[in-house]
Amino acid sequence: MPPKKAVEEKKVLLGRPGNNLKSGIVGLANVGKSTLFQAITKCNLGNPANFPYATIDPEEARVIVPDERYDWLCEKYKPKSRVPANLTVYDIAGLTRGASTGAGLGNAFLSHIRAVDAIFQVVRCFDDAEIIHVEGDVNPTRDLDIISEELRLKDIEFVEKALENQKKKTRQGGQSLQMKQWKEEEATIEKILAHLRDGKEVRKGTWGPKEIEVINPLFLLTAKPVVYLVNLSEKDYIRKKNKYLPGVAKWIQDNAPGDPIIPISVAFEERLTRFETDEEVAEEEKKVGAQSALPKLIVTMRKALDLGSFFTVGPDEVRQWTLRNGTKAPQAAGVIHTDFEKTFIQAIVFKYTDLKELGDEAEVRSKGKIMTKGKDYIVEDGDILHFKAGAAKS
């Protein structure tokens, strides 16, 4: 008999479980965060200003996720209603050195970061005498050090408090199963604290599933995925050259290996928002020889959050739903309506790629490509789904 195929266990993820995940734009004061937020969301909040803390409360917006699959499905079905996927983005007040001890907007800023699931970290790599740098001069690697250190110091404070609370439980003594669990959790918290004190970020540690279950409720700042946005002048962005970039790339390689890094020009993105139509934007991009980085930025963040999509289609509505990769069919049904998860019967599934290749649902069906799946089916990115559910109990 052939050996049994090993079942690959899905890695337990750091972070809040769920499908409605949020990302925050983070950086030192005056690096271009609020202007970037306006460009992403195509809205004018009227708050970018040439002084620190122009953003006091985090602004929130939902941005449409660009996806050619959704566009193609809308073109095919020509539905009455079209609902694309979106990503929730927050503009968060600028950080300063000493924020972990309350400097600047300190604690308020850090609590806003705790509330998001991932970070767009904006790093200033442009010189402009008219835009004040909170540290006095432009030095991206120093700025990266400051942010990394402030987030890590705040995490140490959070974990020390958690350890103190955990020790109150274990001091009670005893041999119960509950006490055994508390002691295991205490050991994990001590391990997290040692990791942070060693100058390391939590998301770069190696953690077992049980340890991650202890980490996630702590909402640690350094446990969140990060996408680095290197803010260049428009000139440098168009010519794809910048004197600071090599240093930033090396810093990320040394301190956050594997994290995405996206060059962007906030000035260029802001200028593109002044055009009234997509055609005018495309013409300007062609004229200068550079394209907006915003679509890449949004898609990269979804990937960092381990989010995927499934679709519901028909003449009434084409809709792209967001869910965490690895989600089973009943929980995917629950994204549409919580009752559907509770009363789930089955899912009718076919693939976007099959539909596009074969042309229509009848042909997909005739080729045996439409499947009926039960509660253990793991939804894949690009699935087109129809759920069958029972009547909800009143």
Q: Which residues define the annotated binding site for ATP?
A: 30-35, 232
Asked if residue 78 lies in contact with residue 13, where contact means CB atoms within 8 angstroms, the answer is no
Per the listing, tokens 């006490």 go with 179
* Pair of tokens at residue 17: 């479980």
Q: How far apart are CA 105 and CA 96, in angstroms?
A: 8
Sheet strands (E) in the chain: 22-26, 59-64, 81-83, 86-91, 118-124, 226-231, 261-264, 307-312, 317-324, 344-351, 371-373, 383-389
Length of the chain counted residue by residue: 394
- CB proximity list for 83: less than 8 A, separation 6 or greater: 317, 318, 319, 320
Cα–Cα distance for residue pair 333/351, rounded to 1 Å: 17
Q: Six-digit token pair at 107?
A: 């604690």
Task: Report whether 345 contacts 390 (CB < 8 A).
Answer: yes
User: Which of 297, 329, 267 lies closest to 65 in space, CA to CA?
Assistant: 297
- Nearest-angstrom CA–CA distance, 212 and 210: 5
State the burial class of residue 111 (Cβ atoms within 10 Å of its Cβ: 0-12, 13-18, 19+): middle
Q: Which of 232, 227, 306 is nearest to 260 (CA)?
A: 227
Phi, psi of 261 (to 5 degrees): -130, 125
Give the residue numbers of the binding site. 30-35, 232
Q: Is the dihedral of CA 111, 114, 115, 116 positive or negative?
A: positive
DSSP letter for each residue of 77-123 = H--SEEE--EEEEEE-PPB-TTGGGT-TTHHHHHHHHHTSSEEEEEE
